[in-house]
Structure 1
Amino acid sequence: MIKISNPFRKINISTKLFLNYLFLFVIVVFILIFSFAGGMTYIAKHNKGTIDDVDMESLYENIYEHGIDRACKIEGIKDNSYIELLDENLTVLDEYNSVHPKGYVYEQKEFNKIIIPNYYYYQYSEDINEESNSFNVYYSEETDNILLASVPNQEIKFIQKVLKVIFIIFVLVLLIVIIIYAKWTSISLVRPIKSLVKGVNEISKGNYDTRIKIKSKNELGILKDAINNMSKKIEEEIFLREKAEKNRKRLILDISHDLKTPLTNIMGYSETIYYDMELDESIKNRYLNIIMSNSKKANELISDLFELSKIDSDDNKIELKKQDICEFIRILLIDYVFEIEENSMDYEFDIPDYEIMCDISDKYLQRAISNLIVNSIKYSGKESTIKVSIRKANNDAIINIEDNGIGIKSDSIKDIFEPFVRADSSRNSKTGGTGLGLAITRAIIKKHGGDIYLDPYVDKGCKFIITIPIIKT
């Protein structure tokens, strides 16, 4: 299905308002033209049989041939019109339905009001007749006679009626257009604003998962994106804060749990030595060894917690130096070859001969990778194999540390880098670990701008994959 974008959604609000007003202006002009055209059509359809339709020359001839009454019937003069035949002295010689009798003499001033303004068409004169205002005038040079044809004051009324019709058409059409225009404006402006207000109200109530959905690409669309981004960030911040609070509580519980055993042993054996003055020297020394061992465990735990806190701190900046990471790994592995062989393990090292330059810290990166190697040696068992390799991929150096030992349960993979998370019962505080090694490793790798994760698709053992950014030259 092809999605067609609407370019008008991208028009800014000021331009859209201008176009709306321009459109409304054009519509009003169109309505005026439409109303005028309708009125003219109405006039053309109904304005028949008026004085304009009278053939004055034919009427004049018929009057002299048949008489004025007969001539008026022949020419179709209506009963509400009147005809007057005047001589050169403005005396009424004959008339049809006229208010002036035969022999009536027009004053020149009175007659001029009829013919001077518009010699051959239209004149309104209350002085002549209140009911008459339209005249046709015909002058015969042969007889010097003047023929006046008049209709009553219905043309004015007709025109007024037509103007009323035009006005009514204009108002009705304009009202319909305004309603449609208001609806259209509501769709393009008011409705998106209502959606924005509704969304902001929901967000203000604490519903930060609310997302405003409008299709506008103008300022309203930009505002929508800003509000949605703000809501998303607030939601993420709340999630991270809740997660941090949850981790903090779990961390306190884990610290309490891991410190409780050694501290309990230290207190118990110390009290025994202190109060039992008759203890055999060999038993006392054994108790002292237990106290020292548990003291070391507690000290290691506290030291690792301090180091993790220090590395994780945003204020702590690790000093990095440009180095060949291949050479760095070679030197580091030399220190573990003897320990690997002593544990009856095989090893496979695949380190390239060429340089891969990265910004690294000897001290911290050595601690991170050593944690992984020591864990592999400690938990893989005899006759197992440890593999370390480096390769180049895009802009990263990829370090793989793999073994085929007991591995890590799948349900622990997602949390394995969290503090005090141990894969199973074989990896617990009784083995001497604090449960902070992998958390420290991840924190160090993050400080190098890289990442670490556990490959979930390894059938046996475990495979840690580390990425370190390569320096661009």
Structure 2
Amino acid sequence: NLSHELRTPLNVLTSINQLIKNLCKKEVFITPEKLSYYMDIMDRNTSRLLNLINNLIDNSKIENNSYVLTKKDEDIVYLVEETVLDMKDYIEEKGIELIFDTDVEEKTVRCDKTEIERCIINLVGNAVKFTSEGGLIEVTIKDLDDKVKISVKDSGIGISEENKRLIFDRFNQVVDKSAELKGGSGLGLTISKQLITLHGGDIYVESEVGVGSEFIIILPVNND
């Protein structure tokens, strides 16, 4: 599975590189628009590779108990809202509606801002992968006094009972009815669970096939 994830973007990069080299050998003029198109493809696949490698490194650090969080008092409502809104254009470009809702205007939580952002991006990105055009993604925050509940709910394909047990295990993939691989390396959700656990919290999924999924984070307010 991991070999496939590494090989796919490398194959794309190699193909684009070979294509440009062949055009240069033939002295064929490449328009700025076409070159920009090729560069965008290379950027996306380079980022994909870098993200995968960073996840592998971080996963090893976490498993070896050498991963250090930098915790500060943060307004979790502002943090989650800003992270989600940064993804708004990307989500809506895919024809998916995005809703953010909270029952509290602000809530201070001691956490590592960067890593909570990372978890939210992983969960929302995962929801986008499994939600078709015309679907809905809802991100909500609920105050639980000494804890806070963050929910990322989608109207996507849903997850079977069997895959619910595997969803946070590294390198597992979820496959939809068309057999299109969408789960990636599985490291995004694995690391999200590891990071939430390091915060003293919990993350789990509720889902029904054909209806959608809801990933829920329960984060303690103080976890030093």
Considering the TM-score relative to the shorter chain, is it more than 0.5? yes
Matches within 5 A, 1:179-190: none
Deviation at 1:415? 0.9
Q: 2:134 aligns with which of 357, 378, 383?
A: 383
Which string of whole-angstrom CA distances, capped at 9 and with x for unpartnered residues, describes residues 409-457 of structure 1? 332111111222221143437xxx5432111211211121111111145
Q: Counterparts of 1:31-430 in structure 2 under 5 Å? A: 254-263=1-10, 279-281=25-27, 295-393=46-144, 395-424=146-175, 425-428=179-182
Q: Compared with structure 1, are the counterparts of its residues 320 and 428 closer, same or farther at alpha carbon in structure 2 (3 Å cutoff)?
A: same
Go from structure 1 to structure 2 and tell me whether the alpha carbon gap of 1:272 and 1:392 turns closer, same or farther (over 3 Å shift): closer
| 1: CA distance, partners of 2:23 / 2:88 | 48
- 1:361: how far off? 1.2
Structure 1: which amino acid aligns with 2:131?
S
Residue identity opposite 2:92 in structure 1? E
Residue segments in structure 1 that go unaligned for 5+ positions in a row: 1-253
Counterpart of 1:303 in structure 2: which amino acid? N
CA distance in 2, matches of 1:381, 1:387: 14
Aligned to 1:464: 215
**RMSD, matched Cα:** 3.5
CA offsets 1:253-280 (integer angstroms, 9 cap, x no match)? x333333444466668878988x79953
Whole-angstrom distance in 1 between the partners of 2:44 and 2:216: 34
1:326 and 1:352 in contact (8 A); partners too: no
Q: Deviations over 1:158-211 (max 9, x none)?
A: xxxxxxxxxxxxxxxxxxxxxxxxxxxxxxxxxxxxxxxxxxxxxxxxxxxxxx
TM-score by length of 1: 0.39
CA contact (8 A) 1:300 1:434 kept: no
The alignment-based identity, stated in percent, is 29
State the shift of 1:387 in Å: 1.0
In structure 2, the CA distance between the partners of 1:375 and 1:264, relative to structure 1 (3 Å rule), is: closer
Cα distance in 1 between the residues matched to 2:29 and 2:221: 58
Check whether the contact 1:326–1:351 (CA below 8 A) recurs between aligned residues.
yes
Q: C-alpha separation between the residues in 1 aligned to 2:206 and 2:81?
A: 23
Q: Residues of 2 paired with 1:268 and 1:389: CA distance?
A: 42
- TM, length-normalised to structure 2: 0.76
Q: Normalized per residue, which structure has more helix?
A: 1
Q: Is the 8 A contact 2:159 2:208 kept in 1?
A: no
Change (3 A) 1:363 1:281: farther
Task: Give, as a single letter, the amino acid of the residue that structure 2 aligns with 1:328.
Answer: L
Compute the displacement of 1:399 (Å): 1.0
Whole-Å separation in 2 of the counterparts to 1:410 and 1:283: 54
The change in CA–CA distance for 1:404 and 1:282 in structure 2 (over 3 A counts) is farther
Letter in 2 for 1:330: E
Q: Distance in 1 between matches of 2:89 and 2:14?
A: 38
For these two proteins, the number of residue pairs brought into alignment is 214
Letter in 2 for 1:428: K
